[in-house]
Structures are given as structure tokens and as C-alpha cells.
Amino acid sequence: MVWWRHDVVYQIYPRSFRDSSGDGVGDLPGILEKLDYLADVLGVGAVWISPFFRSPMADFGYDVSDYCDVDPLFGTLADFDRLVKEAHARGLKVIVDYVPNHTSDQHPWFVEARASREAPRRDFYVWRDPKPDGSPPNNWLSIFGGSAWELDEATGQYYLHTFLKQQPDFNWRNPAARAAMLDVLRFWLARGVDGFRIDAFHFVMKDPELRDNPPNAAAHAAFHRGLGAYDLQLHVHDVAHPDLHDVLRDIRRVLDDAGAEGSERVAIGEAHIYDPHRLCAYYGAALDELHLPFNFGLLKAAWQARAVRTVVDAYEAALPPGSWPNYVLGNHDEPRIASRIGEDQARIAMMLLLTLRGTPTLYYGDELAMHDVPIPPDQAQDPWGKNVEGLGRDPERTPMRWDAGPSAGFCPPDAVPWLPVGGDVDRINVAAQRDDPRSMLTLTRRLLALRRAREALFAGAYASVDHEGIPETCYVFTREAGGDRVLVALNFSNDACEVRLPGVRLGELLVSTHLDREGALGEGGLELRPAEGCVVTLR
Ligand code: NOJ
């Protein structure tokens, strides 16, 4: 089985994982220090490291000014090479971010492009004349607030930026620009990376005529949560033009050329698309685009058994034959799961994530049930939150907690972390939870080990179970491969309940989210305590 189907991916936000240098910001040598934790303590198979490339940090690395170098804040290329070598020595794959939709405004390509209308690389970006009244060329909006167009006074034209004005959109319709951005992939592939997480991929191709978006009379959210004024338009023309498929096939070809059998390189794509059919289109008609278009369905689902089951079943049904599913419960852009649904239900969520069919992506700190940390306005860092009130992402980006010491062991004791560590450090840290037989970390480790050990879990078919004996607060599904059959029963309520399954021959309880029982079960059903989930073998 190819590794990216089998392995669990762990997302590291490098600013926040481990600061080895003492400047309050995490770095690559810090990640290197923690590889044993990832490989041996936790037991994940791959790490995805969010951007560590040269950047003015207007969007904390998602504004890249040199795609082929490491920002000094995070270390050096030699540190990266060492990281890949050491990760591989421990059997860990390394996935890096790829930011194709926009560069930094400090990238030499943009600096050259904005120098004059005749600049050879002017067309690497999207430029248009103002309307006769001087206003922007069309009505497109930036996700991060305001118009998506910024006037460049010197040359008298506007440039497009889907995100910050410091993140000018790259023009993938220009063949030289496209070739240059594809070369970035080759640079990292040659350094041994195992794949890419492709940032905001569906924005890469827009309407070539740059037509206005129509108004959204219903004002429903464009994505999974309200984005303010952005939701007052229907985003028909500024995203996901059909030519995008051609770009994804180009990217995929570069990866396929680099990966022989046994060393396949993975293409994971980030887009907030919640309609399973639209999302699944990005596997490609011949499965020749993304291996894993991120499935964010669980981020949007109301935390109720039926709602979650519906999201999973609809997605499973939409998957093209031969494609492989994936699930995400959190990342650096989303409120933490433990804050969204509470710590008890976060254990259910972890069991769900690690027992569903498909590749799970686990956000750093969720294995400890880290919470969002409230950030006082004078310490706010995220530009989005500064532009649009309530949309800041600092709370989910706070330092990883390694121990109960100063700054939770994230940085040397005399350093000040770039974001506050937050409360509850005594309880929510790796050292405190590692040997606690009932901790969230222990649960996560148990589930990861179980997933590695059981073919039903890492490879088996999925089927949700319908039965009148299942209370509506419970979600029950089976996984099955060859002779290996397991049943997962999750109680989404904070009341006890009984799952009655007459005729179903339950075998052994392998793990409960409460971590206090296992062993043989009788016929016909099982009792679940409040917020309890169980993985059970079937005979
Ligand atoms: C999605 C990334 O996950 C987010 O953090 C970033 O701000 C935008 N893309 C822009 O690159």
C-alpha cells in the first residue's frame, strides 16, 4: 500500500513547534529535536511542515519571497537537509508547503514586474488598468478584507491579490511564469521531499476576462464560516476556473516524474470546498490531479452523530473509483477542535479521525487537546484578524506544550514566545500526559498504534451501520479488510446510552476513549458512557 494512503500526516506550524534558537519563534532545528517524539512516542508516518521559506512574514510565511531558500528565522537549507535525512532515517516522510497562487510583494519576480509596464516579467502577475473613474478593474474582493486590487501608483495599474496586498496573485496563464513555479517543485523534490501541501490551489485559475462576481442575495457563507463582506458576492469568477485542472495535471506530472514506485510523492491540495462532488473533481478525471484534495467536511459539520455521519457518507459516495479519502479536524486556520466541541468530545473526534477510511491529518497539539488561547488585542499577530474583526487565527497557533516549565518547554527559559502559551499548562503538555494512562496523548498513541496494526483500519472498506437499536446520538460504522472486521461506536452526547445490535457478534473491545476497559464483549450490543467511543472487533 502506498505510504500516503497508509500513514497519518502530522501538521507542524513551524513558528510554534519548538524554538531552539531562543528568539521566541520555532525553527527547523527545533523540529529536528522532536523527531523521536513524532516517530516513536506518537507514531505518525509523515509530517507536513507549513512554510519556512524566505518571507517578509506579512502572512507568516504564506508570502514567499524566495521559494528555494529557508528563512533565517527558521534556519538554513543545511538544517532542512538534515531534517529530511533524520526524518527518513526514522521512517518519517516529509511534506512541505507549496504556495502557487501568490508570491510575496518582495519576491524578485514581483519587484521586477512592478518596476515598469514593459518589464519582462510584468505578466507573471495580474495587472489591469483602472476603470475610467480610477476605481479597480472589477468588483473582486480579498478574502482578507477590502478590494482584491491594489493600485500601483508608479505604473498606474492595479494588481490582483486574493489575500493580502503583500501577496500579489501569480499569473499561471503565462507559460514562463508557470514553468518557473513548476521548477520550485523540482527544487524541493531534488532535496528529497515526499510531497507537497498545495496552498489555496483553487484560486490559481480565475476567469480570464475578469468578469464581475454577481451579488449573493442570500448572503450565505462562501466557505464554512462567515467571512464578512466577502460573503456578499457569489464567487463565480474569481476562483476555480475550469483551466485549473490543466495546472493540477502539470503539477502532478512533475511529482510523478520524480517518484518511482516505492518513493511516490504526494500532492495534497488545500481548498475549502464543501460540496463532495465539486471537491472530488480535483482528483482528476483520470485520477491525474491531486492525490488528496483536503476534505474539510468535518470542520463544517455540526457536532452531532447524524450530521457527522451524513458528511462522511456523502463524501464516501462521491469519491471516484480508485481514489483515496482523507479527513482533517484542525489546522492553523481553524479554531481548535477541543475548543469547538469540548475536551470530552475531542476524544470522540480523535477516535473518528483515526478510524475513518482515508488519510488523516492531525494538527500539532490536538493530540494533547490543546485549546484556542485567547490573545489580547495588543498581542495580536495575524493580519487577517487585524483587517476583519473576529477572524484572527492566533488562538490556534500558540506554542506546542512540551512540559510544564517556563513557556511550556517551547523555547529556552529566558526567551519570550511569539504568542502566549495560554493556561492549563500543568495538565496539557507532553510530559504530563505521556505516562498518564488515561490522557488524550495516550488515547491518540493507542489509536495510532491500532491503526497501524489492523488492516481493517488502515485499508478496510467503510460502511455506516443503520439499525433501530442505535440511538440517534450515536454514530456506528464498520471497517473491514479480508478477515479483519471492526466496529466503531461513537456517543456524541454527554448522556449514557445503549447501542443494541441484535444478531451482531461483537468480539473484543480494543479501545475505549475512556481508556479504562477492554476485552471480550457479549452478544447484541454495548453500553456507552457519556462521550464514550469504542473500537470493537467483529466475529
Ligand atoms: C491558506 C493558508 O492555510 C493560510 O494560512 C494562508 O493565510 C492563505 N492560504 C494564504 O496563503
Read off the pLDDT of residues 433-491 as tens digits, 9 standing for 90 and up. Answer: 999 999 999 999 999 999 999 999 999 999 999 999 999 999 999 999 999 999 999 99
Q: Output the pLDDT for position 55.
A: 98
Q: Output the pLDDT for position 176.
A: 98
- Please report the atom of ligand 1 found closest to the CA of residue 331: 3
Q: Ligand 1 centroid vs 61 CA: distance in angstroms?
A: 9
Is it the case that residue 222 has pLDDT exceeding 80? no
HSE value, Cβ hemisphere, 13 Å, CA-based, for 76: 4
Is it the case that residue 219 has pLDDT exceeding 80? no
Distance CA 132, CA 120 (A): 26
334: nearest Cα among 368, 298, 280: 298
Distance CA 480, CA 486 (A): 6
CB of 272 shorter than 6 A to ligand 1 = no
Q: Output the pLDDT for position 523.
A: 79
- Please report the atom of ligand 1 found closest to the CA of residue 101: 11
Q: Ligand 1 centroid vs 392 CA: distance in angstroms?
A: 12
348: nearest Cα among 489, 496, 501: 489
- Ligand 1 mutation pick, 11, 16, 97, 163, max ligand atoms within 8 A of CB: 163
Q: Output the pLDDT for position 196.
A: 98
Q: Ligand 1 centroid vs 145 CA: distance in angstroms?
A: 14
DSSP class of residue 214 equals P
Q: Ligand 1 centroid vs 58 CA: distance in angstroms?
A: 11
DSSP class of residue 71 equals -
Q: Ligand 1 centroid vs 248 CA: distance in angstroms?
A: 18
The pairing of strands 9-12 and 359-363 is: parallel
Read off the pLDDT of residues 395-404 as tens digits, 9 standing for 90 and up. Answer: 999 999 999 9
Place of cell 511529482: 255
Confidence of residue 517 (pLDDT cuts 50, 70, 90): very high
Is it the case that residue 320 has pLDDT exceeding 90? yes
How many C-beta atoms surround the C-beta of residue 62 within 10 A? Answer: 23
Confidence of residue 225 (pLDDT cuts 50, 70, 90): confident
Confidence of residue 362 (pLDDT cuts 50, 70, 90): very high
Q: 392 near 379, Cβ under 8 Å?
A: no
- Please report the atom of ligand 1 found closest to the CA of residue 62: 11
Nearest-Å Rg of the Cα atoms of the chain is 24
CB of 199 shorter than 6 A to ligand 1 = yes
CB of 201 shorter than 6 A to ligand 1 = no
CB of 350 shorter than 6 A to ligand 1 = no
- Please report the atom of ligand 1 found closest to the CA of residue 163: 10
pTM to 2 decimals? 0.98
CB of 200 shorter than 6 A to ligand 1 = yes
Q: 28 near 80, Cβ under 8 Å?
A: yes
Is it the case that residue 306 has pLDDT exceeding 80? yes
Q: Is 219 left (phi over 0), alpha (psi -120 to 50) or beta?
A: left
Read off the pLDDT of residues 157-177 as tens digits, 9 standing for 90 and up. Answer: 999 999 999 999 999 999 999
Q: Output the pLDDT for position 522.
A: 79
Q: How far is CA 413 from the centre of its chain?
A: 30
How many C-beta atoms surround the C-beta of residue 107 within 10 A? Answer: 24
CB of 163 shorter than 6 A to ligand 1 = yes
Active site residues: 199, 270
Read off the pLDDT of residues 323-332 as tens digits, 9 standing for 90 and up. Answer: 999 999 999 9
Cα–Cα distances in angstroms (integers) from residue 497 to residues 208, 449, 470, 535, in the given order: 56, 28, 9, 16
417: nearest Cα among 441, 401, 433, 393: 401
Percent of the chain with pLDDT over 70: 100
Confidence of residue 97 (pLDDT cuts 50, 70, 90): very high
Residue whose CA is at the smallest distance from ligand 1 atom 11: 62
- Mean pLDDT computed over 315-320: 98
Q: 331 near 361, Cβ under 8 Å?
A: yes
* Cell, residue 134: 480610477
Written as one letter, the residue type at 368 is: L
CB of 169 shorter than 6 A to ligand 1 = no
94: three-class secondary structure by DSSP: strand
CB of 62 shorter than 6 A to ligand 1 = yes
Read off the pLDDT of residues 363-379 as tens digits, 9 standing for 90 and up. Answer: 999 999 999 999 999 99
387: three-class secondary structure by DSSP: helix
Q: Ligand 1 centroid vs 126 CA: distance in angstroms?
A: 19
Distance CA 385, CA 387 (A): 5
Percent of the chain with pLDDT over 90: 93
Residue whose CA is at the smallest distance from ligand 1 atom 10: 62
Q: Output the pLDDT for position 223.
A: 81
What's the sign of the alpha-carbon dihedral 521, 464, 457, 512? negative
CB of 332 shorter than 6 A to ligand 1 = yes
CB of 333 shorter than 6 A to ligand 1 = yes
Measured between alpha carbons, how far apart are the two ends of the chain, in Å? 25
Q: 95 near 133, Cβ under 8 Å?
A: no
User: Three-state SS across 506-518?
Assistant: EEEEEEECCCCCC
* Contacts of residue 159, Cβ cutoff 8 Å, sequence gap at least 6: 114, 125, 126, 127, 149, 150, 152, 168, 169
Q: Ligand 1 centroid vs 538 CA: distance in angstroms?
A: 43
Residue whose CA is at the smallest distance from ligand 1 atom 6: 62
Q: Ligand 1 centroid vs 399 CA: distance in angstroms?
A: 19
Distance CA 32, CA 82 (A): 8
* Contacts of residue 268, Cβ cutoff 8 Å, sequence gap at least 6: 9, 48, 95, 195, 196, 197, 198, 290, 291, 292, 293, 294, 326, 361
